[in-house]
Structure 1
Amino acid sequence: MESVDSTNTYLARTLAALPGDDARERLRQLGLEPGWQSLQEPNQVGVGAPPVLPLALAIADQQTRCRGRLDRVWYNQSGQSFLASWAVAVPTDLLTGPTAGWLPMAVGMAVAGGLEQTLTACGARNLTGKRFDQALRLKWPNDLFCSGRKLAGVLCEALPVGPQWSVLVAGVGLNLFVPADSLPTAESTSLQYHYWPLSGYESLRNQLAVSVSEHISRELTALAQSGDEAQQAFCDLHERVVERSWTLGKPVEVRPVAGPNLKGTAVQIAADATLLVEDGSGERVSVSTADVGVLPSLPTQGSDMKQT
């Protein structure tokens, strides 16, 4: 789409209007609508592999009401950002149960993996010589940072459908070619200042759509398994999130929706995906939904960024 109010809202609104209490069936119906293609079917699997979760993707070159976490507005101009949302059919207990907090992190890891795959495909290199895992890090719970600055945000929302299957709607906003003087905050950045050469906007957008879709499918399909396979998938995700964390070990300021701010050190990501912050007295506070800002000073604008 050239423009839409919000790809998350668009997908949720469209799916909510379809009949049936099985999210998988609603996604199949969506795939029959004009303009919808590449809907993954659950039988597209290899021998011994878990069934692939059905998913649909909506991309807009511009969003008039682009939303982020905690009701933030995501800056976007046509041709400057990758703006997309995925609707994925997942087991309802995965969406609403005690492990639901891992879903945004799984999507964040998928965005990082898909971006790395895209950059590799176009032969891009980091302008400071950093490896992908050194430059691209996750700020809890799911923002993608590049060399200490926010490159992408993820917004995950639940669409309850039925007792067995529901929908996770995951929106991504990733700055590609946003000029320095248009970056919305001091901690924001744009891909063009860290990697080169890059493909043109349309080519980069399309490759990202394919790559991130593959990684989202892989991450969520693993978590949707049952028994020991699911437990192993969550343990594996936990380990990978900790390894790529931009937050752990750093001084942080927790800004809750209600109540006073808290300063401390991020010391652990717990098994339920909450962040444990240790205050000055040594007491540990569990954080689940608040905004968490990393406190060390940002590099001077331009010190790790190059105009290309």
Structure 2
Amino acid sequence: MTERTETLLSVLAELKRRRGEAVSGNELAASLGISRTAVWKHIHTLRSRGYLIESLPKKGYRLTALSRTLRPEEVLPLLQTRFLGRSYDYHESIGSTNDRAMDLARHGAPHGTTVVAEEQTAGRGRLRRPWHSPKGMGLYFSMILRPDMPPRHGPESTLVTALALARCLRAQWALDARIKWPNDVLISGKKVAGILTEMQSDPDRIQFLVVGVGVNVLHREEDLPAEALYPATSVALEWERVRKEADAPWDISRAHVLAAFLNTMEELYERYVEKGLASLRDDLKNLSAVLGRWVCIQAAERTLEGTARDLTDRGGLVVETPDGRRETVWVGDILHLRHAQAAQE
């Protein structure tokens, strides 16, 4: 983070702390050790980024409305991380955050670099399926990770990411978020997020991973794609139902969801790197949306049907077929998901 960015964040933090009150330019300048001209320039920058700041004669500046963007000044103050998101690459619009992150990683971007966009014009999921990425509605971001591991462990980061997101949504907003193996997060059986992991490696070591995440956050019903493999939902739609029952205040913002996820992700990722995916296996099973249910999986060029019974220590899905055999699937798409008893009737 540059010194200018740090000062900008400090100006904004003071305006937020005194929101509704006027703060004089002299006071800001003295507390931050900068000139009044520098204060004015930072105010001008904040206004250009969507903050409503009044200039009151002989009183100073008053913040009257916050920006609703994912700019670094909204997210970085909420982070409790050491490395994740500390290098923050922000875009108002981009083709794909994964493509940008891959390029940055090839040019030496540090571990934990996070690429964030307000919208994607060419967002994609697994098998290059399009990911609907309307401006200002969701989270579209990609993380660069550099684990010292053999390439066979690369796909495990997808499950770690899904677990972090499910945990975050459950802890912060009491939503029943669950993992649809291997790369989706569901709430009430509807898809709220998808994850795309890409890798560059040597024969024996991962050079870097790029883990892309798309989360529907503020989407209304009409903002969600009408035709999809799974019905879609958003954090806001699900929280509205919970909020009515709990009589809780409205407090969903994309910046808070992103920061809460990154804080949770760093903790889980460090545990994973130190102890392996087996250390997260019980958590993954407890938050699974598929175990005990009938699944139809497209795996390579074949389709497998049966009841999902278990997860292995390396994240493979164990499926029991109708004839009683058990097969472990490492890569695939769950095309259908039903209660086991209903599927067999």
The whole-number CA distance in structure 1 between the counterparts of 2:202 and 2:169 is 31
1:244 is aligned with what amino acid? L
Structure 1: segments with no counterpart, 5+ residues: 19-25, 28-53, 120-130, 298-308
- Residue-by-residue CA offset, 1:236-282 (whole Å, 9 max, x unaligned): 300100000000000110112313x2221111112221111111111
Secondary structure at the aligned position of 1:167 is classed as strand
The yes-or-no answer on 1:145 pairing with 2:235 is: no
The yes-or-no answer on 1:105 pairing with 2:159 is: yes
Match of 1:86 among 143, 155, 159: 143
The whole-number CA distance in structure 2 between the counterparts of 1:165 and 1:251 is 34
- Identity percentage of aligned residues: 26
1:187 is aligned with what amino acid? P
Match of 1:6 among 66, 88, 96: 96
Secondary structure at the aligned position of 2:182 is classed as coil
Larger radius of gyration: 2
Bigger mean CA deviation after superposition, 206-215 or 146-155: 206-215
1:192 corresponds to which residue? Answer: 236
Secondary structure at the aligned position of 2:113 is classed as strand
The yes-or-no answer on 1:286 pairing with 2:335 is: no
Q: Which has the higher contact order (CA 8 A, sep 6+)?
A: 1
The whole-number CA distance in structure 1 between the counterparts of 2:272 and 2:124 is 26
Secondary structure at the aligned position of 1:265 is classed as strand
CA RMSD of aligned residues (A): 2.2
2:324 is aligned with what amino acid? G
Match of 2:257 among 196, 208, 212: 208
The whole-number CA distance in structure 2 between the counterparts of 1:161 and 1:115 is 35
Question: Given that residues 277 and 314 in structure 2 are in contact (C-alpha distance below 8 angstroms), is that contact kept between their aligned partners in structure 1?
Answer: no
Deviation of 1:55 after TM superposition, in Å, equals: 0.7
TM-score (normalizing by structure 1): 0.71
Secondary structure at the aligned position of 1:194 is classed as helix
Q: 1:159 to 1:217 in 2, by over 3 A?
A: farther
Structure 2: segments with no counterpart, 5+ residues: 1-90, 241-248, 340-345
The whole-number CA distance in structure 1 between the counterparts of 2:329 and 2:203 is 29
Q: 1:12 to 1:113 in 2, by over 3 A?
A: same
Match of 1:172 among 171, 191, 213: 213
Question: Given that residues 224 and 232 in structure 2 are in contact (C-alpha distance below 8 angstroms), is that contact kept between their aligned partners in structure 1?
Answer: yes
2:254 is aligned with what amino acid? R
Secondary structure at the aligned position of 2:162 is classed as helix
2:44 corresponds to which residue? Answer: none
User: How many pairs align?
Assistant: 238
1:67 is aligned with what amino acid? R
2:327 is aligned with what amino acid? V
The whole-number CA distance in structure 1 between the counterparts of 2:301 and 2:115 is 33
Match of 2:295 among 247, 252, 256: 252
Superposition pairs for residues 211-290 of structure 1, below 5 Å?
A: 211-225=260-274, 230=275, 233-259=276-302, 261-290=303-332
Bigger helix share:
2
Deviation of 1:118 after TM superposition, in Å, equals: 4.4
Question: Given that residues 87 and 169 in structure 1 are in contact (C-alpha distance below 8 angstroms), is that contact kept between their aligned partners in structure 2?
Answer: yes
Question: Given that residues 161 and 167 in structure 1 are in contact (C-alpha distance below 8 angstroms), is that contact kept between their aligned partners in structure 2?
Answer: no
Question: Given that residues 196 and 211 in structure 2 are in contact (C-alpha distance below 8 angstroms), is that contact kept between their aligned partners in structure 1?
Answer: yes
The whole-number CA distance in structure 2 between the counterparts of 1:102 and 1:74 is 22
Question: Given that residues 220 and 237 in structure 2 are in contact (C-alpha distance below 8 angstroms), is that contact kept between their aligned partners in structure 1?
Answer: no
2:259 is aligned with what amino acid? V
TM-score (normalizing by structure 2): 0.64
1:115 corresponds to which residue? Answer: 169
Q: 1:11 to 1:161 in 2, by over 3 A?
A: farther
Question: Given that residues 66 and 75 in structure 1 are in contact (C-alpha distance below 8 angstroms), is that contact kept between their aligned partners in structure 2?
Answer: yes
1:183 corresponds to which residue? Answer: 224
Bigger mean CA deviation after superposition, 188-197 or 159-168: 159-168
Bigger mean CA deviation after superposition, 209-218 or 6-15: 209-218
